[in-house]
Amino acid sequence: MPFVGEILKHRSVSIVGLAKNAGKTECLNYIIKRLPLDYFSVAVTSIGIDGETTDQVTGTAKPEITVREGMFFATSEKHFRQKRPLSELYDVGEEDTALGRIVTAKALQEGKVLLSGPSSAVALKRWMRSLKDFGIDLILVDGALSRLSTASPAVSEAMVLSTGAAYSANIRELVGKTAFVVELIRLPLYVGGEPSVRVSSFSSLDAATLKGRRVVEVEGALTDRLLQLAKNALDEDGLELVVGDFTKVFCSQELYRAFVRRGGQISVRMKSELLAVCVNPKAPNGIVLDSDLLCRELSEKIGLPVYDIVKNDYEI
């Protein structure tokens, strides 16, 4: 079953791009267009400003976000006034942002919107909880650039990943970098007992602190500095680092590989479900990758369907 059908099995799904112009908004529009709204209630928002016609960084044209009749959406007061289809206002949040309070409305007709929703994962979760009285079946979250926190299992149940030539113009490198992110998303759940020690990337640590430990809980981010210390502390019995979820891992692929090769392991307290990967073979600078080759090689690497949703008209 193609991934839009899989989305319907979840209460919340994040659409996350690995770089600007990786096709995230196209992916969101693709999903919205194919949802069965005659019996399914959907709400959509963004954790950044999205839906602009022109990218504010690159100056290139961007696809606008289209909401369908009956869909709920959340955006700032400024953007709600600026551009919206005929809508019924449901809620105005108390939290103020640089663009005003967050407005939740229901579209009474199809139209294009600017989405500038809650500005943090905490605020996003608060908004999601506020929808409990509206009978929402599915919440879609458009993640901002490099804000993988929206894909945290603490925020959304599942995710769709967008990648493409804007992330890397070399297919081999693009496949490798994307596959590494997928590998982190799939880190195993921790199923052991209570860790012997808890550490933070901000703590004053040395390898001796970790020496002889079997399981170490990492509070906050797992950085290269902390992973290097863990690698230096490895012995024949191995060492398992436990992080909150994959969005807390901020280490290089090279160091991660070296740690695992020496017998180290990283596991998570909460796990996201990756539903699909979408690709945009075109970059803003004019580079165009071979879409079929990219989809095939990436799919073989990660063992998941990979879609170029612009080129191909996939059906539910």
Q: Are residues 158 and 291 in the same domain?
A: yes
Residue 314 lies in a domain: no
Residue 224's pLDDT is 95
CATH of the domain at 81: 3.40.50
Decide if 221 contacts 248 (C-beta within 8 A).
yes
Nearest to 278 by CA among 246, 308, 254, 233: 308
CA angle 221, 218, 222 (to 5 degrees): 30
Nearest to 182 by CA among 296, 298, 13: 298
Q: Give the residue numbers spanning the domain of 241.
A: 197-268
Residue 316 lies in a domain: no
pLDDT at 74 over 80: yes
Residue 19's pLDDT is 86
Find which of 91-100, 132-141, 149-158 is predicted with most confidence, using mean pLDDT. 132-141
- What is the β-pairing status of strands 306-307 and 65-67? unpaired
Q: Are residues 135 and 39 in the same domain?
A: yes
* Maximum Cα interatomic distance, the chain, rounded to a whole number of Å: 65
Average pLDDT of 251-270? 96
Residue 56's pLDDT is 47
Band of pLDDT at residue 150, cut at 50, 70 and 90 = confident
Q: Are residues 204 and 243 in the same domain?
A: yes
Considering the chain, what is the average pLDDT of its residues? 88
Residue 161 lies in a domain: yes
Domain count, the chain: 2
Residue 144's pLDDT is 59
Residue 15's pLDDT is 94
